[in-house]
Amino acid sequence: MLALHALAIVATVAAVLLGLWQYGVWQTGRQDQTASRVQARPVPLATVMSSDEAFPAAAVGKPVDLSGRWLPASTLYVADRVLHGRSGVWAVTPVALCPADRGGEASKELDDAARCATAPAMLVVRGWAASVRAAPQAPTGPVRVTGWLQPGEGSGDTDPDPTDDVIPQLRVADAIQHVRQDLYGGYVIAERVSPADGVDRLTPVTPAALPKASAFTSVRNLLYAFEWWFFGGFAVYVWGRWCRDEVTRVTGVPSEA
């Protein structure tokens, strides 16, 4: 009987440890997906989504490239953004996605401005500042942005003052009230901006601000963990039931254990 007790203990401990191992694999899988998503090579925004379509679920956190022209008059600030334990704001300026004029230099600036006045725009998070006053003036002119694509937020917070340029969340429906042009159904957290004027004096928003990987990533390993723990619990049940039956058989008295 001592051998059987020892076997039951070994089987239970093994099931618990194997469950913990699979649980660890599940967590590692989620972290690996997040890392690979952030470190992937950027692709042109046009290959991921257009301005007249809903945000594609598979594009969350995807690195993209876009070129256009800043719309400084439509700059917004997203309140209550915490970075490194400090509360501040995100400085957000839309970029009108209009290709640069390849004609003569004399008409280039006017042509770019005219073309960009009607082009759809992407909200770009330039960076973090301690307050609206601490944020540098919004940049102007042509720009190329590389960053992480994100869907618009939607926690349901209402804007206490729709007339100012501070919003409680980066929701496209709120931002479009401040932008005269059509907006893409998401925003980009800037990683690299060229030229960097108006961005280099802001604290970069790091990939840690991106949403965590879905709980369903590597879900098979999570199910294996639960399966091992179920086997361990079942082994404990069978062990207890066998001990009770043995006590009854030897003593002839029904056991309450």
pLDDT in tens, 168-193: 888 888 888 888 889 999 999 999 99
Over the range 60-78, which residues count as b (16 or more CB within 10 Å of their CB) and which as e? Answer: bbbbbbbbbbbbeebbbbb
Distance CA 55, CA 61 (A): 12
Distance CA 155, CA 125 (A): 18
Q: What is the chain's Cα-based Rg? A: 28
For 103-157, what is each residue's pLDDT tens digit? Answer: 445 445 555 667 777 899 999 999 999 999 999 999 998 999 999 988 888 766 6
- Mean pLDDT estimate for the chain: 78
Residue 104: predicted pLDDT: 46
For 42-85, what is each residue's pLDDT tens digit? Answer: 899 999 999 888 888 778 888 999 999 999 999 999 998 988 88
Provide CB contacts within 8 A for 141, sequence distance 6+.
69, 70, 195
Query: Which of 166, 17, 143, 207 is closest to 79 using CA atoms?
Result: 166
Q: How far is CA 62 from the centre of its chain?
A: 9
Query: In this model, does residue 254 exceed pLDDT 70?
Result: no
Domain ranges of the chain: 2-35+216-251, 61-209
Distance CA 245, CA 16 (A): 26
Residue 135: predicted pLDDT: 92
